């Protein structure tokens, strides 16, 4: 039996996807956990950028929101929200955008706006876009972290909040978007990457103990699978220790 959970494997795999000495625009939740884990392990020079204006944040615990004061207290610089987007994100100066999703389709288009029905009368109204559309459009690449199920991996998203590869090759270029779009989708089952010729997400990695049929059963479209699917290396003791310390840090915040 593994001494780690599927969520821990997902967070570790996502942290590994981040390279040292790069800039990363971090969403709250799973992206923030993975980005802070990366900075505490292999990517100590990773520059964390948060939407509220913190650049180079080094929080000693997981922030509770993009406006958590601990981000400003530990940042290299704090700028206004308009400057973050007008000067840093939209001109393509951020290396990696790290996003979550409520729904995701085969081309990496993200929905965090509404589920079911139409926009005015949805079954569920979600938190919305925030800065995600600009991040998805203009960061040099985007990594998405999301738990994989037929509820989240859908044939067609109910609303495109943040563009992935739209309907395939050339669509981002047609719209004049600067970034490459989603380069990896990291889940609790494995890793998907866009296929070069179609931009369709294809399963390239499976986490230990997961098989292809499990991944297909958790996907709302006919999942493409690479010929040479790789098994993800399990979390190391050091990665687990750092991750669990991060998660415990939130529990210690006074309510």
Q: How many CB atoms lie within 10 A of CB 200?
A: 20
Concatenated DSSP letters of 134-145: HHHHHSSEEEEE
What does residue 15 show for φ and ψ, rounded to 5 degrees? -60, -40
**Sequence-ordered strand ranges (E) for 100-181:** 103-104, 110-111, 114-117, 122-125, 141-145
Helical (H) or strand (E) element with 161: none
Kind of pairing, strands 77-78 and 54-55? antiparallel
Give the residue among 48, 153, 143 at the shortest CA–CA distance from 106.
Answer: 153
Tally of CA atoms within 13 A in the half-sphere of 17 that contains its CB: 33
Q: Are 191 and 204 in contact (CB under 8 A)?
A: yes
Catalytic residue among 8, 51, 134, 239: 51
Distance CA 175, CA 196 (A): 19
Q: At what angle do helices 237-251 and 30-40 cross, to 10 degrees?
A: 130
51 catalytic residue (yes or no): yes
> Among all residues, which ones are annotated catalytic?
51
């Amino acid at each position: 039996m593994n001494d780690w959970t599927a969520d821990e494997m997902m967070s570790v795999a996502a942290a590994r996807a981040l390279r040292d000495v790069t800039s990363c625009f971090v969403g709250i939740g799973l992206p923030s956990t993975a980005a802070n884990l990366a900075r505490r392990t292999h990517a100590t020079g990773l520059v964390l950028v948060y939407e509220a204006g913190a650049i180079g944040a080094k929080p000693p615990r997981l922030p509770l929101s993009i406006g958590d004061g601990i981000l400003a207290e530990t940042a290299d610089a704090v700028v206004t929200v308009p400057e973050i987007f007008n000067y840093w994100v939209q001109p393509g100066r951020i290396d990696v955008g790290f996003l979550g999703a409520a729904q995701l389709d085969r081309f990496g288009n993200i929905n965090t706006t509404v589920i079911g029905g139409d926009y005015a009368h949805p079954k569920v109204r979600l938190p919305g876009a925030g800065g995600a559309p600009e991040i998805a459009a203009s960061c040099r690449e985007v990594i998405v972290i999301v738990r994989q199920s037929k509820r989240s991996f859908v044939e067609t998203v109910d609303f495109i909040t943040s563009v992935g590869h739209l309907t395939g090759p050339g669509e981002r270029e047609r719209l004049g978007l600067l970034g490459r779009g989603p380069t990896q989708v990291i889940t609790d089952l494995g890793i998907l990457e866009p296929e070069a010729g179609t931009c369709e997400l294809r399963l390239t990695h499976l986490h230990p103990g997961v098989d292809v049929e499990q991944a297909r059963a958790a996907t709302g479209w006919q999942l493409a699978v690479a010929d040479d699917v790789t098994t993800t290396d399990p979390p190391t003791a050091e990665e687990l220790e750092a991750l669990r310390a991060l998660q415990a840090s939130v529990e210690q915040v006074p309510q």
